[in-house]
Chain A
Amino acid sequence: MRISDKFSELKRKKEGALIAYICAGDPSPDATKEYVTALVRGGADIIELGLPFSDPTADGPTIQAGIERALNGGMNPDIYFRTVTSLKMHIPLVVMTYYNIIFKRGLEKFVKDCAASGISGIIVPDLPPEESGELAGFCKKNDVDLIFLVAPTTTDDRLKRILDEGKGFIYLVARLGVTGVRADVAASTRDIIKRVKTTTPKAVGFGISSGKQAAEIIQAGADGVIVGSAFVDIIASGKDVPARLEVLAKELKEAIS
């Protein structure tokens, strides 16, 4: 399913989008299908499935630990695409990975593998628009959305370029820093939601873990929220994981519906 179709559908239903992140293969390749299914059952609208990289510089301790568990569990790009294919998703799935993983596989092959396995979009946290030309070309050819991030530090000139080139949704980084659970909604988050004016859907990530935060962000004008570390924390605990993933997804989704 195309990301834009999903957001149109949610707009009609007047719902905010819940984009749920977990790292594929955390803690083992077999676990992913069950966990993704639980998130979907809980009400996730889009799944952001991490493809682990050994040196994740944009991620905080929680997701770093998840990535490490996944790598130790044997996850790799070949298994990743096989897993995604087997999911037979009815909602959009986007891959989040670092550029070297894509680069090493070959940009064209990576994008074709995405298209063939049913992946709708690609998020690469260490790939600013300056370096993305070639990948964007392959994405366009294969109908895969290349999703860009906007940060609180992004200047107006850069913002214009990102909005021109961004596809699927614009990923607003809620605050300076890496991924991880925070208790509040920062003032900078409201500022960035207001500052980014575009017809492309806007989703906010970094630090969101509760229904209350999610609701505040949707009320501030975002079209979706991205939640990762809170789900990864549940996986890390190893206790009752699918049920608890579903409960948290449900809490978040209800808060923004």
Chain B
Amino acid sequence: MIRELKSTKFGKYGGQFVPEVLMPALEELIEQYEKYKDDPVFNEELNYYLKDFAGRPSPLYHAKRLSKEYGVKIYLKREDLVHGGAHKINNTLGQALLARYMGKKRIIAETGAGQHGTACAMAGAAFGIKTEVYMGAKDTVRQRMNVLRMELMGTKVIPVKGGSQTLKDAINEAMRDWVANVETTHYLIGSVVGPHPFPTIVRDFQSVIGKEVRTQIMEKEGRFPDSIVACTGGGSNAMGIFHPFIEEDVDLFAVEAGGSGMKVTDKEALHSATLCTGEDGVLHGMRTKVLQNKYGQILESSSIAAGLDYAGVGPELAYLADIGRLKPCNSMDAEALDAFNDLCMLEGIIPALESSHAVAYVKKAATSGDLGDVVVINLSGRGDKDLETVMGLRK
């Protein structure tokens, strides 16, 4: 299952569906990543930043009261405690450092909720690299705090007014920028999506999550968990925690956003459950499962959690779902909000709405026996950014 970097595909998924102008940049990225990924100097520097700057390793916390309430032993992987409040920093430190080693002078990125953009801004400032972030105009309003955070750290936030003015359009615009500035600029993709080698690179940098869990759960339980549950939009926190367990006897659950229901029209889906309901297609440089209409037009997806609101999904996740190695499932907006409240009240932890989807699935499935006795949930981020959304719904 572990594949060479040279192969561009995961089964039939992945590949490089990009304009010719970008192909040499992808070749360069493959070559440079190959060169540095096992380089001791590169890794020593990356590990230094992960530890002293980002605060890794993040704890694996036995959530006793939640376990009792849900009826299964639950450990939370506390990515909400790393710098910036989400797992996104693992990838941005890795790629920004790689960009610096490659001699790139500028970083661009897309962001939905602003978590990845913020993590880019942190890495860009820490490494002294000029950083610009594309963000759907609608999202810049919805996630104003993150715009301010990015700007405080010297990042320019560019509102994208085309299309639905959300994540999908921010990616389109970042790709257009990259096409124009490919010689000086690194496109720091925030999830395990896009053309090869991005899904592999992002997965590798995020795998620090799963590697830590391997050690931590052995210390606490003397064995691996029965199952691991992670929310899935593009899929970076999921691949990060799943990947080191792929060869192990551990069940993997990818929880997508069920939104307000499984309904789909010709233009939009009321959910973002791409692994659950998407069809084979090509979007943003990769072949993967995609929410699309019968003509291949991409649907606008929907979720209460901006970080899950995406019409595509990482190609490796599509592959793992097809071969039955992971189980795609979903939680609806209302279920996620319910789980959000549980975690606040029972554990004193305010989770991101994204991560709340994973918690919600455990609540639903705990008594079915499908999850086994010991479950690890990837608590991919903290919920400060979601307070306005949540409080707004409570009124």
Could you tell me which A residues sit within 8 Å of B by CB distance? Answer: 53-58, 60-61, 64, 68, 71, 76-78, 98-105, 125-128, 130-131, 148-155, 158, 162, 173, 176-178
Contact = CB atoms under 8 A, between A and B. Distances in A.
B19 A176 contact: no
Given A103-B296, A128-B16, A153-B24, 20 more contacts: A57-B19, A57-B176, A98-B282, A99-B282, A100-B283, A100-B290, A101-B295, A104-B296, A126-B17, A126-B18, A128-B20, A130-B23, A153-B20, A153-B21, A155-B24, A158-B24, A173-B19, A176-B21, A177-B179, A178-B180
B180 A55 contact: no
B103 interface: no
Which 10 A-B pairs have CB atoms at the shortest separation, nearest pair first? A104-B296, A151-B21, A177-B180, A54-B297, A100-B282, A100-B296, A57-B175, A149-B20, A101-B296, A151-B20
Interface string B282-318: 1111010010101111100000000000000000000
Contacts of A176: 21, 179-183
B168 interface: yes
B162 interface: yes
Contacts of A150: 20
Contact of B23 (A60, A78, A128): A128
Contacts of A127: 17
A149 B15 contact: no
Q: Dominant SS at the B interface?
A: mixed
A55 B168 contact: yes
B163 interface: yes
Contacts of B180: 176-178
B172 interface: yes
Nearest to B280: A103
B23 A158 contact: yes
B15 A53 contact: no
A56 B283 CA distance: 10
B281 interface: yes
Interface in B176-217: 176, 179-183
A148 B21 CA distance: 12
Contacts of B236: none
A131 B15 contact: yes
B153 interface: no
B32 to A, nearest CB: 15
B17 A55 contact: no
A37 B181 CA distance: 37
Contacts of A154: 20-21, 23-24
Contacts of B292: 100, 104
A229 B368 CA distance: 58
Which of B16, B162, B182, B296 is the most central at the interface, judged by chain A CB atoms within 10 Å of its CB?
B296
A228 B124 CA distance: 37
B165 to A, nearest CB: 12
User: Which of B23, B162, B183 counts the most chain A CB atoms within 10 A?
Assistant: B23
Contacts of A125: 19
A126 B282 contact: yes
B8 interface: yes
A148 B172 CA distance: 21
Contact of A130 (B8, B172, B183): B8
A245 B22 CA distance: 32
Contacts of B21: 149, 151-154, 173, 176
Given A105-B296, A154-B24, A99 B17 contact: yes
Given A99-B17, A128-B23, A153-B21, A55 B282 contact: no
Contacts of B15: 130-131
21 contacts: A55-B163, A55-B168, A56-B172, A57-B179, A58-B176, A100-B292, A103-B287, A104-B294, A104-B295, A125-B19, A126-B19, A130-B15, A149-B20, A153-B21, A153-B22, A154-B24, A162-B20, A173-B20, A176-B182, A176-B183, A177-B179
